[in-house]
Structure 1
Amino acid sequence: MIFKRIVFVVLMLLGAFVHAQVHQKKEVYLFAYFKNNGEDGLHLAYSDDGFKWSALKNDSSFLTPMVSNDKLMRDPCIIRGADGLFHMVWTDSWKDKGIGYASSPDLVHWSGQQQLPVMEQQPGARNCWAPEITYDAVTRLYMIYWATSVDGLFPVTDSLAESKYNHRIYYITTKDFKTYTSAKMLFDPGFSSIDATIVPDGKRFVMVFKDETLHPVQKNIKIAYAKNLTGPYSKPQGPITGKYWAEGPTTLRIDNKWIVYFDKYTEHKYGAITSTDLKKWTDISDQINLPKGIRHGTIIKITPAELEKLKQ
């Protein structure tokens, strides 16, 4: 009898310890986004389940944009770097040939903001929109990529694009965010493409992006794949979204499920779809709850301790 009680107590203590460890290691999802035109800067919201999101700091800005003449902070993308820092890029202007960059140890205190002049050597470059960062653990390189429209570069499809903004995806790489390679084209699917986000999936990389074609209208989300982060990427598959106009996709993986969130920008609301195989998709837009007025950005995972610091 005494032995059974000892075993019972030990099992109870072990269970409590395991529960505490699981709770301690539980990750929180953090959504970085902008509101209105992006003039007030970085907004953050958090979620425990990926469905219900709560704005932090009463949905006021965590960082005011300081670079470019426009001083905007649209399309913020944050990743946790291999160096322990958070690295962020964003659209800092409608017409500049650069993008904004800053880093932070805790998402509260930020470095001085820089403008990376990624397309200043490209004649006819009209813009640099929706930049993102993806880290390649094999090559230990960060790839920064964005959409640019270059006047006269793709004349065949100019008339199919909106205001002849005939975008393709470009990229640079860096190991330390101090020195960068020259810009190269990353993705040309044969039509205007923008808002790319790339995530590793085993031995391949998955690119989720917006087909920006206006004639005939697409304005939907598609997928492409590559063995290497810098490509080449496959012929696009999709669309994976419906007959509404969608942009600014960002992804989240919870267990074996993919969730793609996107801005239904003509309807002024957010949508989401889920899949286990990236082929068959289920619309779960009616199941998500996001802060009012949210525009697109990116989602990362943080610790409960990091969330508590943001709440303070």
Structure 2
Amino acid sequence: MKKIIIILIVGFSVLSCSNSKQAYLFTSFREPATDGLYLASSEDGYHWKDLGGPYLKPEAGKSKIMRDPSIVKGKDNVYHMVWTTDWKGGDGFGYASSKDLIHWSEQQYIHVMKNEPEVVNVWAPEIFYDDEQDRYIIIWASTIPFRFEKGVEEERNNHRMYYVTTKDFKTFSDTKLFFEPGFSVIDCVIVKRAKNDYVLVLKDNTRPMRNLKVAFGKTPIGPFENISDPYTDYLSEGPTVLKKDNDWLIYYDNYGAKNYQALRTSDFKKFENISSKIQLPEGHKHGTITTISKKTLKSLIENKK
């Protein structure tokens, strides 16, 4: 029973921070994405303090960049992180792990699209811990020209979502199609509300839309259905979600207006803009939120000095 309880409380990229010994941690990068990992922390989920960076300089991939760092706290309080390594080209993403967010494992390049020689890109990998099957699910967006009906998109900009699973980051499942909504889609985030109740936060990346929507499913790998109308402005992307009391906060890059915004929702059907209530470090870019112990946070602050 003790093991089951531990598994249930760790590892979500969408997290509650009701424990006073915990704080929130927000990963980030700074343009032009060559420096590496930046971090911010928050006690309340609204106001974020800059922890600086870089904490990990990118070495994986041809371009040696780090965009869209996605992190999850897994079993034994080990942090697992994946990130975009190349704007165009490449067949995989970067991966590293850490116990304290200061000292990191050797970086790996995970060739998830090695069997797709025509793949254009591997964008914004997002990591999710599936507590029910004790596995990590990693999803990302890729374009494979002429694979799907392109609609209004050019063949080299017609993304779909793919995924792999792993238990140890040494062996991975075969790559499979994760989400095919019938339009170009990127920047998806899996949210678990309860058993057999999942939400997928997504970006409709078609030229007329380029905004955020949600879909609903019974498992973390879908199928996700009942896609909503958009609930953000034109030119918005990079969502991440945290649980705050009885609500969910959705942070996203409102890049058309060159600012970061946030919404609050209790049901993923009605959304309240709370952007006036949040505070983020200058230059903060697309990342994800997890939790961090106060002890680890103290070490990060001391390291910053």
Tell me the amino acid that sits aligned with residue 284 of structure 2.
Answer: I
| Cα distance between partner residues in 2 of 1:38 and 1:99 | 14
Please say which structure displays the higher CA radius of gyration.
Answer: 1
Task: Show the counterpart of 1:68.
Answer: 61
Matched, 1:132 2:122: no
Cα deviation, 1:188-212, whole Å, max 9, x if unaligned, reads 1000000011121102221101000
1:107 to 93, 101, 104: 101
Matched, 1:208 2:201: yes
| Cα distance between partner residues in 2 of 1:247 and 1:141 | 27
Q: Greater RCO between the two (CA within 8 Å, min separation 6)?
A: 2
1:23/1:137 Cα in 2 relative to 1: closer, same or farther (>3 Å)?
closer
| Cα distance between partner residues in 1 of 2:265 and 2:30 | 28
CA RMSD of aligned residues (A): 1.6
2:223 to 228, 232, 237: 232
Task: Show the counterpart of 1:262.
Answer: 252
* Pairs aligned (count): 284
Q: Does the aligned pair in 2 maintain the 1:268–1:293 contact within 8 Å? A: no
User: Cα distance, 1:155 vs. partner?
Assistant: 3.7
1:43/1:233 Cα in 2 relative to 1: closer, same or farther (>3 Å)?
same
User: Cα distance, 1:122 vs. partner?
Assistant: 1.1
| Cα distance between partner residues in 1 of 2:149 and 2:174 | 24
SS in 1 for 2:298: helix
User: Cα distance, 1:24 vs. partner?
Assistant: 7.6
1:181/1:293 Cα in 2 relative to 1: closer, same or farther (>3 Å)?
same
Mapping of 1:35-184 within 5 angstroms? 35-56=30-51, 59-94=52-87, 95-157=89-151, 160-161=152-153, 164-184=156-176
Q: Does the aligned pair in 1 maintain the 2:149–2:182 contact within 8 Å? A: no
Tell me the amino acid that sits aligned with residue 220 of structure 1.
Answer: N
Tell me the amino acid that sits aligned with residue 48 of structure 2.
Answer: W
1:218 to 209, 222, 225: 209
Q: TM-score, normalised by structure 2?
A: 0.90
SS in 1 for 2:295: helix
| Cα distance between partner residues in 2 of 1:228 and 1:111 | 31
| Cα distance between partner residues in 2 of 1:224 and 1:241 | 15
Q: Does the aligned pair in 1 maintain the 2:33–2:65 contact within 8 Å? A: yes
Q: Does the aligned pair in 2 maintain the 1:25–1:303 contact within 8 Å? A: no
Task: Show the counterpart of 1:248.
Answer: 238
Tell me the amino acid that sits aligned with residue 252 of structure 1.
Answer: L
Task: Show the counterpart of 1:28.
Answer: 23
User: Cα distance, 1:251 vs. partner?
Assistant: 0.4
User: Cα distance, 1:83 vs. partner?
Assistant: 4.0
| Cα distance between partner residues in 1 of 2:220 and 2:138 | 11
Tell me the amino acid that sits aligned with residue 227 of structure 2.
Answer: P
| Cα distance between partner residues in 1 of 2:272 and 2:20 | 30
User: Cα distance, 1:70 vs. partner?
Assistant: 0.4
SS in 2 for 1:286: helix
Q: Does the aligned pair in 2 maintain the 1:189–1:235 contact within 8 Å? A: no
| Cα distance between partner residues in 1 of 2:43 and 2:77 | 22
